[in-house]
Structure 1
Amino acid sequence: MTIVVPFPSLGLEAAGSRQQSTPEADHKPSPNLQKQYIRASNSDIGGPVNLDTLKLYCDVVRLRSVSRGAAANKVSQSAASQSIQQLEAELDLPLLDRSRRPLQATEEGRTFFEACRTLLQGFEKARAELSVVKQRVEGTVRVAAIYSVGLHDMSRHMQPFMAAYPHARVLLECLHPHKVVDAVLNDEADLGVLSYPAATRALDVLPLRSEPMVLVAHPTHRLARRRSLVAADLTGEKFVAFDHDLAIRKAIDRALKQHGVKVEVVMEFDNVETIKQAIGINAGLSVLPRPAILKELGMRTVVALPLSFPGLVRPIGIIHRRGRRMTPAVARFAEQLQKPDESAE
Structure 2
Amino acid sequence: MDKLSGLLAFVRTAERGSFVAAGRDLALSASAVGKAVARLEEELGVRLMHRSTRSVQLTEEGRQFHERCRRILEDLDDARAQLGRATAAPRGRLRVSAPIVGHHFLMPLVPGFLAACPEVELDLVFTDRTVDLIEESVDIAIRSGALPDSRLVSRPLNAFRLLLCASPDYLARRRAPTDVTELASHVAVRFRHPNTGKLLDWPLPPESQEVNARLRTALACNNIEALKSAALRGVGIACMPDFLVREELAAGRLCEVLPGQVSLSGRFNAVWVSSRQLSPKVRAFVDWLAGGGR
Q: TM-score scaled to structure 1, two decimals?
A: 0.54
CA distance in 2 between counterparts of 1:161 and 1:171 reads 13
Partner of 2:94: 141
Matched, 1:269 2:221: yes
Shift of 1:264: 0.5
Conservation of the 8 A alpha-carbon contact between 1:228 and 1:307: no
Q: Which amino acid aligns with 1:330?
A: V
Partner of 2:66: none
Q: Larger C-alpha radius of gyration, 1 or 2?
A: 1
Conservation of the 8 A alpha-carbon contact between 1:185 and 1:321: yes
Partner of 2:17: none
Partner of 2:251: 299
1:21-170 equivalences in 2 (<5 Å): 43=27, 131=84, 135-149=88-102, 151-170=103-122
CA deviations over 1:64-120 (Å, ceiling 9, x no partner) = xxxxxxxxxxxxxxxxxxxxxxxxxxxxxxxxxxxxxxxxxxxxxxxxxxxxxxxxx
> What runs of 5+ residues in structure 2 fail to find an aligned partner?
1-24, 33-79
Matched, 1:231 2:180: yes
CA distance in 2 between counterparts of 1:300 and 1:185 reads 44
Task: Report the number of matched residues.
Answer: 219
Partner of 1:242: 191
CA distance in 2 between counterparts of 1:340 and 1:155 reads 11
Q: Secondary structure, in 3 states, of the residue corresponding to 1:255? A: coil
Matched, 1:318 2:279: no
Shift of 1:306: 3.3
Equivalent of 2:162, from 190, 210, 213? Answer: 213
CA distance in 2 between counterparts of 1:311 and 1:236 reads 19
Q: Cα distance 1:296–1:222, how it changes in 2: closer, same or farther (>3 A)? A: closer
CA deviations over 1:164-203 (Å, ceiling 9, x no partner) = 111112111100142xx32x13143100012224142222
Q: Cα distance 1:230–1:274, how it changes in 2: closer, same or farther (>3 A)? A: same
Conservation of the 8 A alpha-carbon contact between 2:90 and 2:117: yes
CA distance in 2 between counterparts of 1:135 and 1:332 reads 11
Q: Which amino acid aligns with 1:302?
A: L
Q: Secondary structure, in 3 states, of the residue corresponding to 2:98? A: strand
CA distance in 2 between counterparts of 1:337 and 1:280 reads 30
CA distance in 1 between counterparts of 2:125 and 2:198 reads 23
Partner of 2:41: none
Q: Secondary structure, in 3 states, of the residue corresponding to 1:235? A: helix
Partner of 2:153: 204
Q: Cα distance 1:232–1:241, how it changes in 2: closer, same or farther (>3 A)? A: same
CA distance in 1 between counterparts of 2:235 and 2:154 reads 36
Q: Percent identity?
A: 20
Deviation larger for 232-241 or 221-230: 221-230
Conservation of the 8 A alpha-carbon contact between 1:197 and 1:317: no
Matched, 1:173 2:125: yes
> What runs of 5+ residues in structure 1 fail to find an aligned partner?
1-40, 49-126
CA distance in 1 between counterparts of 2:119 and 2:293 reads 25
Task: Name the structure, 1 or 2, with higher relative contact order (CA <8 Å, separation 6+).
Answer: 2
CA deviations over 1:141-169 (Å, ceiling 9, x no partner) = 110100111x2111222111111111112
Partner of 1:192: 141
